[in-house]
Structure 1
Amino acid sequence: MAKQKLSDEDQVTQYIATSIHPLATTMQAIREVILSTDATVSEQIKWNAPAFYYNGAMAAFDAKEYKRDIVVFNLRKDNYILLIFPTGSVINDTTGILEGNYTDGRRMVAIHGEADFNTKKVALQQTIKLWLAQVEK
């Protein structure tokens, strides 16, 4: 009998539940805030980590441009979570939360624990809304 594949949501749940990273509970809190930002945000495991993407209609584009990908977790060994926005350079970041100026367009947010996340969660949601506002439909 073939093993049933977990849904994308169940895969993310399992990833966080089995994580040995010291910020696993913060990961779950980040997940909940990102998903509650807008109904057009969905989740999956991509690049071996939780990733969040736009699930709505979009104008045609080259898949290598990662235009559907909003933010991806990167769990750092030095005990913080790096949230990577692969196309973060398209966001007019009025919050000042995005860091970095990479030529490939990435921008990042470092989360150093639950208290740090609590100070950044409103700005994180605003940044995601700004990202969603620029989607070419």
Structure 2
Amino acid sequence: MARHHPEVDDWFDRYENPQRELVLAVREAILDADDRVTEVIKWQAPTFVYKGNIASFYPKTRTHASLMFHRGASLPDPDGLLEGEGDVSRVARFVDADDLAAKRDALQELIRAWITVQDGA
């Protein structure tokens, strides 16, 4: 069961974007990945945390849902979900509900990989 933070709920109540429902669905997928993941508003956007910042939405993207993994370059990504060439961050993009459904398992595995790394396992 997802744990919604009231501050993030309030942010979504004001969020006007054609991808709002998709962004909400990505939120649920992330929070459902592990009970230890929480959410806050940082950088004026929903951010998912567990012993540090995992990922934040790009709220102004209007053609898809975009999620920046702050240290995505260091995460195992066997499914190739993450895009980017930088030394630190990576981006996951979801174009619609079907795309999210196809990528949901890979997204949740990235969240779990972050937790594993943070716990030193």
Whichever of the two has the greater Rg, that structure is: 1
Give TM-score, length-normalised by structure 1.
0.78
Deviations 1:75-133 (A, max 9, x none): 24442221100111110111210110113x00110111222212111110011111111
2:8 pairs with 1:12 = yes
* Structure 2 counterpart of 1:64: none
Over the aligned positions, Cα root-mean-square deviation in angstroms equals 1.6
Instruction: Tell me if structure 1 keeps the 8 A contact 2:19–2:62.
Output: no
Structure 2 unaligned regions, length at least 5: none
Alpha-carbon separation, structure 1, partners of 2:24 and 2:84? 25
* Structure 1 counterpart of 2:86: 102
Query: Which of 17, 23, 26 is 1:27 aligned to?
Result: 23
2:35 pairs with 1:39 = yes
* Structure 1 counterpart of 2:49: 53
Q: Aligned to 2:58, what secondary structure does the other structure show? A: strand
Q: CA deviation at 1:136?
A: 4.7
* Structure 2 counterpart of 1:131: 114
Count of equivalent residues: 117
Structure 1 unaligned regions, length at least 5: 1-7, 56-67
Divergent runs of 4+, >4 A: none
